[in-house]
Structure formats: structure tokens, C-alpha cells
Structure 1
Amino acid sequence: MMSRLLTIRNVLRNGRSRSSPTRASSTLSAIFPRNNSPEPCHRYEPGGYHPVTAGEVYNQRYQIVRKLGWGFYSVVWLVQDLKDQRLAAMKILVGDLTTAGKRGGWDELGVLKVLQETNPQSSGYRHVCQLLDEFTHQGPNGNHVCLVLEAMSLSVLDVYCALPDAMPLPLLKRVCKHVLRALCYLHEECGIIHTDIKGDNILMTGPPPEEGQLNIEVDDDYLMSTTFKLSDFGAANFMSNRFAEVIQPESLRSPEVIIGAEWDTKADIWNFGCLVYEFARGSKLFDPHWANEKNKMNPTQTHLSQIAGLCGEFPSEFLDRGKKSKIYFDDQGFLLKGAGQYSITLEDLLIRAGHPSKDVSEISQFLSLMLIVDPRERWSASRLLDHSWLNNVN
């Protein structure tokens, strides 16, 4: 595990509050870890990772520079495009994902092609990390789909971790508007649900940090002019093929997914609403593992209790759609465990971040439209883009 120092200069803030557009001369520095731990060696096996060496050229065009990261199903490499003389990120998928019978509905390449081809003129198109090229490479562990993507800079999570608490609201509004544009494109034009929206999947335009670079400096001009893009579509589902039963990071999981009801694009809205709150507050909205042993509750019971305490009781018509509802709710729609244990409002929570009361009222009202229990009532990305909280945000 290697750590880097991210310095943010002239952060938009006024004292403790980060919501004022007045610039103050300030420098914030924070150490944030970068996971440079190697991928598991045992995954270099038939059907697993493809062995790569720096300097190798793939598809007679892409020369390996260095590793950017890895996941269970892929390793991502920084490459030099020898044709266009630009950097790109090449994601080499495990061999098993090239075999149709082992993909289990997964189709990252298909998702990326739809995002690439549907409507390049859409306002949301430029807020999606786009596929540049793709090919299949034959190696000792099988055939591997290789996805060549835009090379990007830091993530929003990197910036958030470098701040001492909440994110400045002018910056948060830009992140919000850009991601909602991306979601509007995904949902309404492409019929795609991302299912995994988190801070490290929202990236900023610009070159990746240099290898071994321990000091990274960004300022307001960069943060307020860069383009934020939604990335990593490895867990995305088509509306026409919602193959995944459980989606989303646990604490960001939507009520419909928790109770086993049918989910759609509105699951992304709930997921993103929880993330926006986290950036605005400086802490998570829901914690399914909070005091479980003390309260003799499991994570799902705790999560549902916290949601009900913030958003109100679950509508009976909504619970009727859930295959798991009777595990957690009685016939009258009340929680079997944890009812009334939590009771708080978004305003109560957000005022603790030190934002002025007027700003707290505005962002709370905006978030409340994303955090509606019944997805049929939850606002869409396009409606949220027209909300007054995002007026005059570029």
C-alpha cells in the first residue's frame, strides 16, 4: 500500500462552511492511500488473468506502460497508443468472461458499445468514460477481451479523502450535475443501469498521476473546470436484461433491492443520492453494521430501520412487490425488528457539516427527491437536472 499526498489549493470555503463561492487563500493537504498491492497470483490460471509485461505491444498498437489497477475480473494497464501518440487505459478481462456460458449475463463490452454509439450529441455523452477500441487477445490462459478506454486523472473519492470533512457545495454541485447528465444518457437514451455508483467510479479528465508520484496538487481552477465522468461499467445491466439479483455497494443499496422487488434505473438515483449526501456531510448516510450486536439486529434489519427513520414508513403497495418483505415486515407494513429505533431528518444531519441553514434547506430538499422509498415516486435524472439547486452550474 503506497500513500500519496494530495494538495488542494484555494478551496472554495468560508471558515468551516464550504458552501460560500468566495475564494479564500487556503491550502488543504491530506495523505490518501493508493492500493498498489498486487493482484492475487492464483488468478493467473486458465480462465483467469493474462500475464503482461511492460513494453509489450498489443494489437500492433498499444504499448504497455504500467499497471493502473485491478479487480477480480480484470487488470487495467496504462498504454501508449502508438498510432495516435496518446495515453489510454486498457482493461484486460479474465479469460472466463470471453466464454459466453460463463458470463452469467455480464456484457461490459456490449454496454460500452451502446454508450459509444447511441447518441454522441447527447449532453450526457461527454460525462461517460468512453470506449476507444476493443479486440480479443489470445494468451496462455485463454482468449481475453481487451477494452481500450479514455485515460483519466484522479477520482472524486481522492478529492473527498483529501478534504478534512464535507465537500465544498459549489464543487459538489458540479459533480452532481455531471453525473446526472451521464445517468440521463444511460437511463433514458441507452436503457442501461450502472448499479455501482461510488466515488472511485467518478473520474476527472486529465492525465493519470505519474508512476511513483507522491505529491499531487490540484486547485480550484482545475476542480471547477474539469469534466467529471462516470466510469467502470463492469457491473452495468441493460433494462432488457437485468441479470443481477443483488446490486450496489451495501450502504448505498436501494430499498427495492433490499426487499427483493424489481429494480430499474431509479436504483441508480437512490445510490447516487446516498453518495451526494456523504460528500455533503462528510460521513455515510446509512451504516448497516451500526451497533448490530448491541441491538441484536443483522445488517439488513439495521439498514431498513435507518431508512424508515429518515424516509418514513414503507408504503404497503411497495412492500407487496418485494419477495423478501415478509422477512422484515409484518402484515401491517411495520418492521419486525428495529421499528422506531432511528428518527432524524436530512436537515438535522446536514447542519452538522457547518453549512449555512439556507444551503442545508436547499440540498435537503434536493436529496429528498432522490431518497424516496418507492422508486416509482423517486425523481428521474432528467427531472433532477432541472431542479433549482443545480441552476447556473456548468
Structure 2
Amino acid sequence: MTATKEDWKKDFYKNGVPTEVIIIEDTPPLSQQISQTTNTHIPTNSIRRTQPTIPNLLGPPAASTRSKRIRKDTPKNNLPPPPPPPPVKRRKKDVTLLRRPPTTAVIPSPASCDDKDGHYIIKPNESLTPRYKMMKLLGQGTFGKVVECYDRVKRTFCAIKIIRAIPKYRDASKIEIRVLNTLKEHDPINLNKCIHLIEWFDYCNHICMVFELLGQSVFDFLKANEFRPFPIHHIQQFAKQLLTSVAFVHELKLIHTDLKPENILLVDSESVEADNIEGVDPKSRVLRNTDIRLIDFGSATFEQDYHSNVVCTRHYRAPEIILGLGWSYPCDIWSIGCILVEFLTGDALFQTHDNLEHLAMMTVVLGKIPAKLIKASSFEAQKFFKEGKLRYPADDTTKQSRKYVRALKLLKYIIDPQTNAKAQFLDLLSKMLVYDPSLRITAREALRHPFFMMRFDDLGRETEEN
């Protein structure tokens, strides 16, 4: 039976409101039903929903799994539409239809994870991510925090370095990741004892780097041991590992630039009382295991990359940096020399925070600074000298500074080479703590020094094999 134009209009306008026309694949074309009303051609294989120009004020139409919204290029029918409703009502209706259902879930803002300085707020026994559970804070620096975490996937503990959510620290961390990946790529089984990056991820605007969980730093062990010195055979083992790490780093065209006891981690911090160990305070504790790892490559610099004017933590800063002569691989060797003296004495060799005082300390311990280095120093560093001599003490130098500098001794008296081991140790240091960086021994050369050929028994005494 063919529908008339009047019947179709009745169906289209029910109760004065237009209804939708649903067209599906097995429905005859609308043009056959209203042959005299419109010239619109609708392909029989299309599945579309035609929407009248008047919005449906009674709510959304009944759902149809095979219907789709009409395309914009579909011709409209020729029926005159009723006047549209007020714009305000339409906006309210649209908002109501598009509004998402309410939820009771609380989604924290990334900002709520940080303190005012951009550090991630550590909450022990809570999750950092679904995989990692935070256990305790291990350390904090200007870069961020290091946290002990439990890895729920591997079922092991690890250390995660969480970088501050500040652009300059995020950028620096990406350089560190590049360096760490280079180290791991060239030494996958870690023969050179540098820290290995397990993985990294970006969480709430914090770069997070996952590492093996190690023991405390050598500095923390010294502090816990009331800054009592290490036995000479332990210093030998530390020095050999540290020089091996730095030689490897240098061969990759990298300069660490921040070598210090805080950046040397013990693999195992377990210690025992010092019983009859040569040259060690009986009240001291000694390590069972002297294995170490070199860490913190956040300041490491490739030789071809930009070199900032000042690098290295103050106590371990080489003279060429203070004098503005530029720096390269030898600055790491100077830092190692300062570290090894600290291992023997328990105290930093150059405890200062002032450039002039620092240079004065160097002259007391190591002798005068060569004239050619003074002449080549930067304009800023020239103010420390007058007619080739160090201007110390200056008019504003404190009595405390003068007293401290006068109390220092020559390196040979600090080491006190009464044994063959200490004599060899002093000779090694005298080649590392050289003012002129071009004359300073390299890490690979240092490893061939006779000091590393010496043999000791378990009590730190030299054996007859030497």
C-alpha cells in the first residue's frame, strides 16, 4: 500500500513535534514513498539517520544499533521547519545531553605530588606507581631525591632517583640518561664498576631513574665511623676501582666533573670491629667488602660538549678551574687525589669555600703555583696575585682563615711515608696532585703504578711477595 503525502505528514508531525526518520538497508528508498514531495536520492545501501532541522525537545531518540547521524552534505527536505526554540534553551539542552555522569573517583592533580620547591613528596609505604612501592628516603640533593622502592614485578628492592619537576633539572636528567645509556652500552656486564641504569620513566612531570639498590656512600660510612681513616689496603682497593671507572669514562670521551666520596657507593656497607688491623684505630670499624660503584653522572660532560666555567664540588676542585684555564680529563684525576688523601686521614684535604683561601691551602700542601699558570690565568683570577705571588692573606682575611692555613702541612708530612706502602702511595699522589694539568698522570697510567702491585694480608700488613 502506497502512503499518501497527507499520511506521511501525520506520521512526521506527531503532537506538533517532528519525529526522526530511520532509514536502514532493507527499507525502500524514501523517494518511492513520497514521489511527489522531494527529489532527494538516497542510496539503498546506506545506513543513516536523518535529523530534522528542529531540535528534539523531548529528549534523545530511541537508540538504534544500525543508525548513524546524517552527513552534512545530505539534501534537506522541502518542508518548512517550525521556528527554532530560544538559543538559551538549546544551549541548556545540549549541555545536558553532553554532560558526563557524575563520578565519585578522586583524580589527584600532579601538582599535589610536589612541595613548593618542585621535589616529589615521599610517602613511605605508598605507591609511586602501580609497580613501585616507596619504602624510605635514601638521600636528597639539589637535583631531587633518591628513594628506596620495592619492585612488585621483579619482587626486589631498587633505588629510584626522582628529579625535581623544574625544567632545568629535567633537561639535565635527560643528559644524564644519555650518559648512563652510553656507559651500559659499552660495558653491559659492568666490569668498570659504574652505576647502571635499569630503566627510566616520566611520572607526574618527574623524570624517574631506576638503579640497583646499593649500600651507603663512602662519605656516610666515614661519618658513621666518626671519620676514622680506612686501612691502607682498603684504600688501595678503592683507588684501583675508582681509577678503573674513571679510565673507562675518559675513554668514552666523558669527564665526570663531580668526583667526591658522596658519589662513591659501597656495594655492601656491612662492617666489623677492627681487630689488630695495621694502622687502624681499635675503636674503628672496617668493611667486610670493599666493592664500590661510581655514581651521579648528572654533571658528566662529553669532551666535545659545552664546558661551563665552574665544575666539581669545592673541596675537590682542580686549580685550573679556579684559575680560569679551562678544564678536561685531568680535573677528575685531581679530584681522585684529594679523595684518596681523605680516605687516609678521614678529613677533606682542602676544607674551604673561598677561592683565595683554597689557592693558599694548595701552596702550603703542594708548594708554589707555577708562574706560567699564573700568567695564563683568567682576568678574574689575576686579582689573586700580585707580581706573580699569591695575595694571601688579604686585608679582609679572617684570623680563623689565617690560623687554619698555617696549620696545614706538606703532603709528605700528611701521608707520613714510614712504610713502603705509604711511600708508594705518596708517590702516586704526587703525580696526581700536579698543578699543571698537562703534566698530571692519567687514570690508565695511574693503574700501572707500583702502589697497585703491592700485596697485603687480611690485617693490612705488607707481605713478603712485594
Query: Is 1:358 the equivalent of 2:426?
Result: no
SS at 1:79's partner residue?
Answer: strand
1:98·1:144 contact (CA, 8 Å) conserved in 2? Answer: no
1:173·1:393 contact (CA, 8 Å) conserved in 2? Answer: no
Structure 1 residue 247, shift from structure 2 partner: 1.7
Query: Is 1:349 the equivalent of 2:445?
Result: no
Any stretches of 5+ residues in structure 2 without a counterpart?
A: 1-111, 275-284, 395-404, 457-466
Under a length normalisation based on structure 1, what TM-score does the superposition of the two structures give? 0.73
Per the alignment, residue 301 of structure 2 pairs with 237
Structure 1 residue 155, shift from structure 2 partner: 1.9
Structure 1 residue 257, shift from structure 2 partner: 0.8
Structure 1 residue 75, shift from structure 2 partner: 1.4
State the Cα RMSD in Å.
Answer: 3.2
SS at 1:95's partner residue?
Answer: coil
1:171-182 map, 5 Å: 171-182=234-245
Per the alignment, residue 326 of structure 1 pairs with 382
Counterpart amino acid of 1:68? L
Distance in 2 between residues matched to 1:91 and 1:308, nearest whole Å: 39
Q: Match for 1:119 among 187, 205, 213? A: 187
SS at 1:288's partner residue?
Answer: coil
SS at 1:245's partner residue?
Answer: coil
Structure 1 residue 259, shift from structure 2 partner: 0.9
Per the alignment, residue 294 of structure 1 pairs with none
Which is worse superposed, 83-92 or 238-247?
238-247
Structure 1 residue 99, shift from structure 2 partner: 7.7
Counterpart amino acid of 1:252? Y
Which is worse superposed, 309-318 or 371-380?
309-318
SS at 1:376's partner residue?
Answer: helix
1:100-119 map, 5 Å: 103=171, 107-119=175-187
SS at 1:72's partner residue?
Answer: coil
Q: Match for 2:317 among 253, 258, 273? A: 253
Per the alignment, residue 250 of structure 2 pairs with 187
Query: Is 1:300 the equivalent of 2:363?
Result: no
2:364·2:409 contact (CA, 8 Å) conserved in 1? Answer: yes
Structure 1 residue 365, shift from structure 2 partner: 0.7
Q: Which has the larger radius of gyration?
A: 2
1:98·1:145 contact (CA, 8 Å) conserved in 2? Answer: no
Structure 1 residue 249, shift from structure 2 partner: 2.2
Distance in 2 between residues matched to 1:392 and 1:361, nearest whole Å: 12
Per the alignment, residue 231 of structure 2 pairs with 168
> Residues 166 and 348 of structure 1: is their aligned pair in 2 closer, same or farther, counting only changes over 3 Å?
same
Distance in 2 between residues matched to 1:375 and 1:300, nearest whole Å: 18
Structure 1 residue 164, shift from structure 2 partner: 6.1
> Residues 389 and 338 of structure 1: is their aligned pair in 2 closer, same or farther, counting only changes over 3 Å?
farther
Q: Match for 1:312 among 367, 376, 379? A: 367
Per the alignment, residue 132 of structure 1 pairs with 198
Under a length normalisation based on structure 2, what TM-score does the superposition of the two structures give? 0.62
Structure 1 residue 252, shift from structure 2 partner: 1.8
Distance in 2 between residues matched to 1:82 and 1:42, nearest whole Å: 21
Structure 1 residue 320, shift from structure 2 partner: 4.0
2:337·2:432 contact (CA, 8 Å) conserved in 1? Answer: yes
Distance in 1 between residues matched to 2:190 and 2:326, nearest whole Å: 28
Structure with the higher fraction of residues in strand conformation: 1
Distance in 1 between residues matched to 2:113 and 2:162, nearest whole Å: 17
2:200·2:207 contact (CA, 8 Å) conserved in 1? Answer: yes
> Residues 42 and 64 of structure 1: is their aligned pair in 2 closer, same or farther, counting only changes over 3 Å?
closer
2:309·2:326 contact (CA, 8 Å) conserved in 1? Answer: no
Structure 1 residue 43, shift from structure 2 partner: 6.6
Distance in 1 between residues matched to 2:358 and 2:432, nearest whole Å: 17
Which is worse superposed, 223-232 or 143-152?
223-232
Counterpart amino acid of 2:386? D
Any stretches of 5+ residues in structure 1 without a counterpart?
A: 1-40, 209-215, 290-298
